[in-house]
Every structure is written in C-alpha cells, then in structure tokens.
Amino acid sequence: MISKTINQPHEGGSRFFYGYFVVGASLLIMSVMWGGYYAFGVFFKPVLDEFGWTRAVISGAFSLASIVNGLLTVAVGGLTDKYGPRMVMTVCGLLLGLGFILMSQVSDVFQLYLFYGILVGAGMSGSFVPLTSTVARWFFKRRGLMTGIVAAGSGIGALIGPPVASRLIFIHGWRMSYVILGGITLLTVVLSTQLIKRDPKQVGQFPYGENEIGEVELNLRVEDFSLKEAVRVPQFWIFSATGFCYGYCVFAIMVHITPHAIESGISVVRAANILATIGGFSILGKVLLGRAGDIIGNRRTLILGFILMSIALICLVPAKMAWLPFLIAGIFGFAYGGIAVSHSPLVAELFGLRSHALIFGVFAISVSLGRATGPLLTGYLFDVTNSYQMAFLICAVISLTGILLAAFLRQLRHMM
C-alpha cells in the first residue's frame, strides 16, 4: 500500500518555494550563454568573407570549444557537487564573456582558436551540467518539467541569439557585435548566478515532492552510485553513446544550416531565422517532452526525440531551400529539445543524486565529442564535395543509430 504524504515538500506550506528562484535564474543564464554560443553560425560568413579561411578551419574553432567544454565539464561537475554552482558559474560567466569580447580582436587563426576554442569553450562548460544538476536536487516531483524549463533556455538562446547577432552585425559590424555580446553575457551570468543555492537545505526547505512519495516508490529508488561504480555499468556506456549521436547531429546542423541556406539563395536574415526556428521549437520540445518524461518515462522521451530527429534529417538531404527547411527546422528543434531534457533526469534515475553532477559531467564528454566531430566533419565534407548532401545524410544515419542505442537502455533496479 502506498503511504500518504508525510510532510509538505518544503517547510511551511505558505512559504514560497525557493527552488522556483533557482529555476528562473538558471533559465536566464542558460538563455544568455547559449544565445551567444549559437550565434557562431551567424558570425561564420562575415569571418569567412574577411579572412578567406576554409570552412573546416573556422568550424575547427567551434570544435575545439566543444572539446574543451567536454573535458572541463567533468571538473565542473565535480566542483559543483563539492562547492555548489555559485562559484562555478561565476568563473564560467567571466571566461565566456571575456572570450566573446576578445573575439573582436581576432586577426589570425591562432587567436580564433585561443579566444573561441579555449576561452569560450571553458566558459560554456558551466552552461548545462551545473544548472540542471542543481535543479535535480531541488525537485523530486516535477523534475522532468523543471529540467525542461531550464533546458529551454538553450532554445530561447537559439531563438533570440542569431537574429539579434545578425542585426548587430548589420549595424555595428561583426567585431563590435562580439564586444556587445560579451558584455551582456558577462554581466547577466555573473549577477544571476548569485541567486542560485546548491540545495534546499541552505534555505531550510526540502526538495519539492520528496516527502510525498509512497513506500513502494521509496523502496524502488535507485541506489546512489559513485562515478567509479557508474562507469562499470554497461548502461552508462550505452547512454554515453546516445550522447555522442545527439551532440554530432545537433551541432553539425546548428553550425552549418545558416551557410547552407545562404548558399541556396536565402537572404542572410531569413537564413538566421531558420536557426531561430530550431531554437523556438526546441523550447516546446524541452517543456512538453520534459513533462512527458515525468509521465511516460525519460527513456521513451529519448527514443521519441531521436525518431523525430531522424525524420527531419532524412527530409533535409533532398530539401530545396524554400519553405520546407522551416518545417524541417521545427521538427528538428522539437526533437533535439526532447532529447536534451531527458539527460539530467536519466542520470538521476540510473545513478542517483550523490554524484549526479560528476557523472553527468563525464556523460557530457560524449556529447562534446559529438559536438566537436559533427561541425568539423560536416565542414570538411563540404570542402571536399562542394555540397552538404553527404554530410547531412551521415547525420541522419547517426541519428538512426541513436534510436537503437536508446532502445537498449534499461533503468537499474538496485534496492536501497
């Protein structure tokens, strides 16, 4: 028999739950950080035109940022578990803002790779794991929904960042636009981070819904794994492989869809709007499929996301750049949003909360490897074939592989 509620989710039923402040601040931080990051595709063409570098060279800076991001995510996750998100996010905000500002001074490839690949990559290492891991500590019930709301910030960033960057470049040029972008990022991230608390105990509250679970549910809760224990489980590596598939497909498209559209005859502003469409629909995917994950399970949400992504990528290969890419972008955005929002709750379901941020950080290496490989290989294939057709077809195959891998994921049923 399932027991009734033991206590309120937080002390004093009338007191506002501080976890909602954490969600709001995290949403704002996520939106600003990812808005600047996704704007790389809009800066791509002006940088290409000014310096005449190959697409692979310019894409390589984004790939290096992804590698640095992935490597540092492990350290960031461990530091978040130990010290909390405030210190970690403050440092990351400073690095990211500085990296964007210094991009205005680029004059050779070395500086491009240093300012964007190293500094921006280091700053972005705090863009997802610390925030979503912290939200997981604040919410037991509604964890998928709240994670989805925070993760929607990357979609909001993709929706707003590219069009704003495009407008700034039109008015001020790409160099001054990076200065403005860096200043906004630095101030917003550092100030908003001061509102975030590591867990409810710091304000005398309980995780939302933790004390409302029944005895049956309590007995089935996943044992808390250490990182050492988690990496010994085959499910961790299957899960990580899905992360690579996700990272490869999403960022290959996010970096190259704008230049692909421009070269197919679409105006620069309209091409940026395709990227914004992906971001806008990813918001819906994260919120709606985040909530769906609470109901049908996050593994099913992950599978559904890969199915929709595969459909979009298969359709993109022969698509002519007219109205159809906007429809494809909508499906793709909704799909990637659903996949992204399933990651943090799945880590909690599979491995518990004791080392959640650290385990999530190690998992994120696989996403970063995909994020590094996708744009670079896509740019290289274009340089070789003078077409994106083969590159997008490979994305579709990798997304289909993600479906198969996700189907093999099974929740670990350790008894406490």
Let me know the angle formed at the C-alpha of 381 by 377 and 385, rounded to the nearest 5 degrees. Answer: 180
Alpha-carbon span 308 to 317, nearest angstrom: 15
Q: How confident is the model at residue 218 (pLDDT cuts 50, 70, 90)?
A: very low
- 8 in a structural domain: no
The predicted-structure confidence for 233-245, as pLDDT tens digits, reads as follows 888 899 999 999 9
Average pLDDT over residues 86-109: 92
pLDDT band for position 90 (cuts 50, 70, 90): very high
pLDDT at 219: 39
Residue 118 placed within a domain: yes
Specify whether the CB–CB gap between 348 and 207 falls below 8 A.
Answer: no
Q: Is residue 392 part of a domain?
A: yes
φ and ψ at residue 139, rounded to 5 degrees: -130, 125
Confidence category of residue 216, pLDDT binned at 50, 70, 90: very low
Most confident of 18-27, 182-191, 364-373, 384-393: 182-191
Q: What is the pLDDT of residues 339-384, one digit of tens each?
A: 988 887 888 778 876 777 788 888 888 887 898 789 889 888 988 8
Q: What is the mean pLDDT of residues 243-267?
A: 84
CA distances to 1, 18, 103, 138, 204 from 12, in Å: 27, 12, 49, 16, 10
Indicate whether 212 belongs to any domain. no
* Domain extent for 266: 19-199+220-407
Q: What is the pLDDT of residue 93?
A: 94
CATH code where residue 335 lies: 1.20.1250.20
Mean per-residue pLDDT, 178-204: 88
Alpha helices by DSSP H, listed for 105-233, are 109-112, 121-124, 129-138, 143-193, 215-219, 227-230
Residue 14 lies in a domain: no
Domain count, the chain: 1
In a domain, 334, yes or no: yes
In the numeric block, which tokens belong to residue 319?
A: 């698509």
Please say whether the beta carbons of 287 and 145 come within 8 A: yes
**Helix (H), strand (E) at residue 383:** helix 356-385
Q: What is the pLDDT of residue 163?
A: 82
CA 376 to chain centre: 18
> Does residue 7 belong to any structural domain of this protein?
no
Angle, vertex CA 401, rays to CA 293 and CA 282, nearest 5: 40
- Is the pLDDT confidence value at 191 over 50? yes
Is 413 within the bounds of a domain? no
Q: What is the pLDDT of residues 306-345, one digit of tens each?
A: 999 999 998 876 656 556 778 888 899 999 888 988 887 8
The CA distances from residue 77 to 127, 150, 151, 155, in Å, are: 11, 17, 17, 22
User: Residue 259: CA atoms inside 13 Å, Cβ hemisphere, count?
Assistant: 26
